[in-house]
């Protein structure tokens, strides 16, 4: 019996227009009414999640949100952080030095800010920030290292060809020290070592006394793989890559075909 539903957002809960369909909202409400706990699991920061959570209309419920690819867990009753892992000063300095003499920009996230380290935000960073309902803020390396901010997650942004080159050159070294993932063609992400969506989901499930076999997880991208494998039932979206689909237990419809609702009806409500 499924007791917890872990949902990725972009490419899963959200359609290609970055909207939540009424079909998905209705199915989520039915699942919660049936006693299932909802956990949104995303690479987004909390300020990029809250407007969507409000659209779900669950203000009377205390659900959970895993943000920054597993770096922090928030409870939605007051959006407080109940568990977190952060980058160290040494981590930030190391990651920044990888971008020197490169068109790639290093961005960092705390609870309230989308920071760009050491230079003005590129057009790509400006555009990416709109997807999480904010504006990027330029920050010096000294301030990033000052301890004023708890930095959870780092992202490297650039044109696809530049990120291809960056990944080929540095990913092996990054993954020896961090959890690194190419989440999008123009983004390479780095979290503290061992941190993934699955890492946070496991910690939350233990707190809630829910076993992996009682979890259904849904996702479409590389940063969802560990979560799909951890859950007793891992569901890939129809728009996922063949690699992600092959690792899942089942494949639902695409994010433009209300795939979340279809999977909830099939595996939870029936």
Q: Are residues 74 and 100 in the same domain?
A: no
CATH number, domain with residue 111: 3.30.1240.10
Q: Are residues 245 and 178 in the same domain?
A: no
Q: Are residues 216 and 177 in the same domain?
A: no
Q: Is 246 helix (H, G, I), strand (E, B) or coil?
A: helix
Q: Tell which of 166, 191, 216 closes a domain.
A: 191
Q: Are residues 240 and 107 in the same domain?
A: no
Per-run averaged pLDDT (10 residues), the chain, 270 residues: 98 98 98 97 97 92 95 96 98 97 96 97 97 98 97 98 97 97 96 98 98 98 97 98 98 98 97
Q: Are residues 156 and 210 in the same domain?
A: no
Q: Are residues 79 and 127 in the same domain?
A: no
The residue among 178, 181, 182, 172 whose CA lies nearest residue 194 is 178
Q: What is the DSSP string of 111-164?
A: SS-EEEESSPPPHHHHHHHHTTTS--EEE-HHHHTSSSS---EEEEE--HHHHH
Q: Are residues 56 and 117 in the same domain?
A: no
Query: Beta-strand (E) ranges in the chain?
Result: 4-7, 37-41, 64-67, 72-75, 80-84, 105-109, 114-117, 137-139, 153-157, 178-184, 187-192, 215-219, 233-236, 250-251
Q: Are residues 108 and 230 in the same domain?
A: no
User: What is the pLDDT at residue 60?
Assistant: 78
Q: Are residues 246 and 181 in the same domain?
A: no
User: What is the pLDDT at residue 59?
Assistant: 78
Q: Are residues 70 and 115 in the same domain?
A: no
Q: Tell which of 139, 160, 191 closes a domain.
A: 191
Domain limits at 77? 4-84+195-269
Q: What positions carry a catalytic annotation?
A: 8
Q: Are residues 166 and 218 in the same domain?
A: no
Q: Are residues 164 and 98 in the same domain?
A: yes
Q: Tell which of 175, 191, 207 closes a domain.
A: 191
**Residue 118: which region, alpha, beta or left (left: phi > 0; alpha: psi -120 to 50)?**
left
CATH number, domain with residue 25: 3.40.50.1000
When divided into structural domains, the chain yields a total of 2
- 8-state DSSP, 83: E
């Amino acid at each position: 019996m499924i007791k917890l539903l872990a949902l990725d957002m972009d490419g899963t809960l959200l359609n290609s227009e970055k909207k939540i369909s009424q079909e998905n909202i209705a199915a989520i409400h039915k699942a919660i009414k049936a006693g299932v706990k909802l956990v949104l699991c995303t690479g987004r920061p909390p300020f990029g999640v809250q407007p969507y959570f409000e659209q779900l209309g669950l203000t009377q419920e205390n659900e959970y949100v895993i943000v920054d690819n597993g770096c922090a867990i928030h409870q939605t009753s007051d959006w407080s952080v109940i568990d977190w892992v952060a980058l160290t000063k040494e981590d930030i300095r190391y990651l920044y030095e990888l971008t020197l003499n490169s068109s790639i920009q290093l961005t960092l996230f705390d609870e309230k800010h989308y920071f760009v380290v050491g230079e003005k935000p590129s057009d790509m960073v400006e555009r990416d920030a709109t997807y999480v309902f904010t504006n990027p803020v330029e920050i010096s390396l000294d301030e990033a290292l000052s301890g004023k901010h708890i930095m959870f997650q780092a992202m490297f942004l650039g044109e696809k060809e530049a990120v291809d080159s960056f990944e080929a050159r540095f990913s092996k070294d990054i993954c020896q020290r961090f959890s690194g993932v190419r989440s999008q063609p123009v983004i390479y992400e780095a979290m503290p070592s061992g941190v993934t969506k699955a890492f946070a989901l496991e910690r939350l499930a233990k707190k809630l006394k829910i076993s992996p076999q009682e979890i259904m997880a849904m996702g479409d991208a590389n940063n969802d793989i560990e979560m799909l494998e951890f859950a007793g039932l891992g569901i890939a979206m129809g728009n996922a890559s063949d690699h992600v689909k092959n690792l899942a237990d089942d494949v639902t419809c695409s994010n433009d075909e209300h795939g979340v609702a279809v999977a909830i009806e099939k595996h939870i409500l029936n």
